Structure 1
Amino acid sequence: MRPGLPLESLGPLVWWLLLLGVLSWIALLMGANVSRHRRYQRQAQRILDRLPQLAGDGQRLTYLRKINPYVFEELLLTAFARQGYRIQRNRHYSGDGGLDGQVWIDGQRYLIQAKRYARAITPTHVAEFGALVRREGCRGLFVHTGRTGTKSRAALASFPEIELLSGQRLLALLIKDIP
């Protein structure tokens, strides 16, 4: 193409090839995203199978704190699905607006916020999730592997529609029969 040549002068074949190239690139990106989701779901399955073999709750929580945060999200959703609950996974892991998935328990919709922390959760995260749950008009599960400090407990008290799932309650979800 010579400088100054108008785009209209490109032939239809060139436009089709350009469109085909763009669509191929989009399909490649979407395929990579689907592959990553499947890989994380397989990792979550393996972790759920391995957790009962670990020697005690402390070791189990330490192990959970070290896994990939996206695998932790998949772990929770997979655990709910294994127990027969209807779940909805997100299409993307990042940019999800604080929503890591959804589960329906006894006909009630719950939004899930998953935080794989070694330290204490932040009251800001609790408040942001609480605002999302209220906007959606449903209930919420704030699930984490860290500690729940005084300020975060106060933030949770402001949102009675949010249930905290951590420690023993988290392990009970992930492992049906803890030895």
Structure 2
Amino acid sequence: MIADWAIWLVIVGAVLLFWCLRGSRIPVKHRWRRRQARIMCRQLQGHDRSQPPAVVFARLRHMDPLAFEELLLECFERRAIHVVRNRRYTGEGGIDGEVRICGWVWLVQAKRYADTIRPEHVEAFAQLCAAKSMPGLFIHTGRTGPSTRTLLNRHPHIQIISGDQLLALIRVEPVLVRGKRI
């Protein structure tokens, strides 16, 4: 009788363990990058909040590019914005994630630039968003040059978040998306 009870206990324990672990199908590299993103997010929202923008941008540019993507998605999540992460980092066609803002699903592309962003990168992202009939957020650490600003006039469904708006996103301060504060 005790043996039957022990067998059932083991079976129930195994089922519970399987049930709990099935949510952790996140690959180890993804978990590492998410952890790095959470650490950076806590630092930039906490004791490093008053760092000069140049220092913050230098830190962002030196992050692992995939951890930078995770940092941005983490910042959206901290604003209670629904985030959809990709199952893998490569082969997603230039989409680094999706966020739901004001009833719209926005495609997100993150770039760590040290210099002026390349208009062809924004154009390729704009074409991808147009093909999916979805607006896009192009978030970057560089400068937005005049040729890219002209390009954005042809693609009103694309919004760039950089500079002060990027700092505001990270520091959980108001950010304007399509004229609405999030």
**Structure 1 or 2: larger helix share?**
1
Question: Residue in 1 aligned with 2:153?
Answer: 157
Superimposed CA distance per residue, residues 109-168 of structure 1 (whole angstroms, 9 cap, x where no aligned partner): 100010011111111101100011111111110000011112111222211011110011
Following superposition, the deviation at residue 177 of structure 1 comes to 5.4
Structure 2 residue 93 is the aligned partner of structure 1 residue 100? no
User: What residue ranges of structure 1 are gaps of 5+ in the alignment?
Assistant: 1-30
Q: 1:43 aligns with which of 36, 42, 52?
A: 36
TM-score, with normalisation over the residues of structure 1?
A: 0.78
C-alpha contact (below 8 Å) 2:96/2:108 kept by paired residues: yes
Superimposed CA distance per residue, residues 31-53 of structure 1 (whole angstroms, 9 cap, x where no aligned partner): 7x711111100100000111143
TM-score, with normalisation over the residues of structure 2?
A: 0.77
- Aligned-pair identity in percent equals 41
Aligned CA-pair RMSD: 1.6
Regions of 4+ moved over 6 Å:
none
Cα distance between partner residues in 2 of 1:36 and 1:143: 23
Cα distance between partner residues in 2 of 1:94 and 1:57: 30
Question: Residue in 1 aligned with 2:52?
Answer: 56
Cα distance between partner residues in 1 of 2:153 and 2:88: 30
Aligned residue runs from structure 1 range 8-157, under 5 A: 34-52=27-45, 53-54=47-48, 55-157=51-153
Q: Secondary structure of 1:118's match? A: coil
Instruction: Give aligned pairs, total.
Output: 147
